[in-house]
Amino acid sequence: MLGRRQVLLGGVFKPGTRASTAKAIAVDSSGNVVVTGQSSNGSNLDFWTVKFSGSTGQELWEKIYNGPADRDDIPVGVVLDSAGNAIVTGQSLNASNYDAYTAKYAASDGHLIWERRYNGTANFNDSAAAVAVDASGNAVITGYTEKASGDSDYYTAKYAATDGHVLWEHTYSGPLYYDSAAAVRVDASGNVAVTGASDGNSSGANFYTAKYAASDGHLLWEQRFTGCCIRTALLMLWP
Residues 96-144: tens digit of each pLDDT? 899 999 999 999 999 999 999 999 989 999 999 999 999 999 999 999 9
Q: Is the pLDDT of residue 205 over 80?
A: no
pTM beyond 0.75: the answer is: yes
- pLDDT band per the 50, 70, 90 thresholds, residue 19: low
To 10 degrees, the CA torsion angle through 132, 128, 200, 187? Answer: -10
Backbone angles phi, psi at 214, to 5 degrees: -60, -40
d(CA 208, CA 88): 24
8 Å CB contact between 28 and 35: no
Contact of 51 with 57, CB cutoff 8 Å = no
Contact 141, 131 (CB under 8 A): yes
Structural Rg of the chain based on CA atoms: 18
If one counts every other C-beta atom within 10 angstroms of the C-beta of residue 229, the result is: 7
Nearest to 87 by CA among 140, 43, 45: 140
Q: Which residue did the predictor score with more confidence, 9 or 137? A: 137
Bridge pairing between strands 73-80 and 86-93: antiparallel
φ/ψ bin of 217: left (φ > 0), alpha (ψ from -120 to 50), beta (otherwise): left
pLDDT of residue 12: 38
The residues, any chain, with a CB within 8 Å of residue 228's CB and separated by 6 or more, are: none
- Percent of the chain, pLDDT > 90? 72
Residue 95 CB-density burial (10 A; 0-12 exposed, 13-18 middle, 19+ buried): exposed
- Spatial neighbors of 176 by CB under 8 A, at least 6 apart, are 198, 199, 200, 201
On whether the CB atoms of residues 125 and 147 are closer than 8 A, the answer is no
Q: What is the mean pLDDT of the chain?
A: 87
Which residues, listed in sequence order, are joined to residue 210 by a DSSP beta bridge? 194, 222
Residue 34 has pLDDT above 90, yes or no: yes
Q: What is the DSSP letter of 178?
A: B
Distance (Å, whole) CA 44 – CA 110: 23
Q: Which of 125, 32, 132 is nearest to 89 (CA)?
A: 132
Q: Name the nearest CA neighbour of 64 among 78, 50, 52.
A: 50
